[in-house]
Amino acid sequence: MKKLTKIMLSVAAASAVAIAMGVTAMAEDTITGTYDNDTGVVTMDNVIGSGASQTIIVYDSAAETITSTDIAYINQIDNQTGPDGHFSTFTLAAGLKPTGTEQAVTYKIKIGGTDKSVQTGTLTIAGDAPATVTIVIGDVTSDGKINMADVTQVGRIAKGKARTMGNAGDTKYKTDNTPVIVGDVTSDGKINMADVTQVGRIAKGKARTMGNAGDSVEVLAENPSGN
């Protein structure tokens, strides 16, 4: 087995590998990978044998011209197990999984064989899906139902007063980052007497005549700002 490290690579060597692999830059991705955040090991699927040896290069997907600084991993393996010998794993740094509002990290994978074929894949390391909660539109006191306490708090905001309980007037975000103003059941971007009327109708057991008071909506448990 041959192992090439980033330290051993010159810019010229990196460019040579990039040129050799670049002939199929537009090939459809067939390789998939699963990243282990604790160990940094990436387990690949759908890699097939491609000759007497294979060379793998993993690099920053945003790189237009690959240099040594863009390469996250490079290695070569001699086929010692017949025509089906191939790479199945490679190792990146551990702890690359984004947290909070950090953007996903994306790498391009290319594996070239001595049979002159090139296999490609894209590895995206994304953070965990954000936690969500379901709120009832108009239930600004978050007690699971719409009652006169909600009407009171929405009414205070509509009149320009400070709320005394609940979260009327706060901004929450749906999973697509669309903002929702808590208590704005008419979805016009502000809390006014129209909202008070609709929340009041639900609190009294009547049908709403406009807006979405009483509907449920999924919002992020923690806003993108961390609030």
SS3 label, residue 203: helix
State which of 32-41, 93-102, 105-114, 119-128 shows the largest mean pLDDT.
32-41
- 193-203 and 148-158 helices, crossing angle to 10°: 180
> In terms of domains, do 114 and 141 share one?
no
Is the pLDDT score of 99 beyond 50? yes
Last residue of a domain, one of 95, 125, 155: 125
Last residue of a domain, one of 125, 156, 171: 125
The residue type found at 110 is K
Q: Report the range of poorest mean pLDDT among 9-13, 99-103, 109-113.
A: 9-13
Q: How many domains does the chain have?
A: 2
Sign, CA dihedral 201-177-123-102, equals negative
Tell me the per-residue pLDDT of 38-75, one tens digit each, with 9 for 90 and over. 999 999 999 998 888 888 889 988 877 777 788 899 88
Q: State the DSSP H helix or E strand holding residue 167, giving kind and residue range, or none if neither.
A: none
CA angle 166, 170, 174 (to 5 degrees): 115
Last residue of a domain, one of 106, 125, 144: 125
Quote the mean pLDDT of the chain. Answer: 84
First CA to last CA across the chain, in angstroms? 52
- Measure Cα distances from 109 to 49, 112, 133, 166, 227 in Å: 15, 10, 37, 50, 38
Q: Report the predicted TM-score, pTM, of the whole model to 2 decimal places.
A: 0.58
Is the pLDDT score of 152 beyond 90? yes
> In terms of domains, do 15 and 111 share one?
yes
Q: Is residue 6 part of a domain?
A: no
> In terms of domains, do 27 and 113 share one?
yes
The whole-angstrom separation of Cα 62 and Cα 57 is 14
What are the residues facing 110 on neighbouring strands?
57, 120
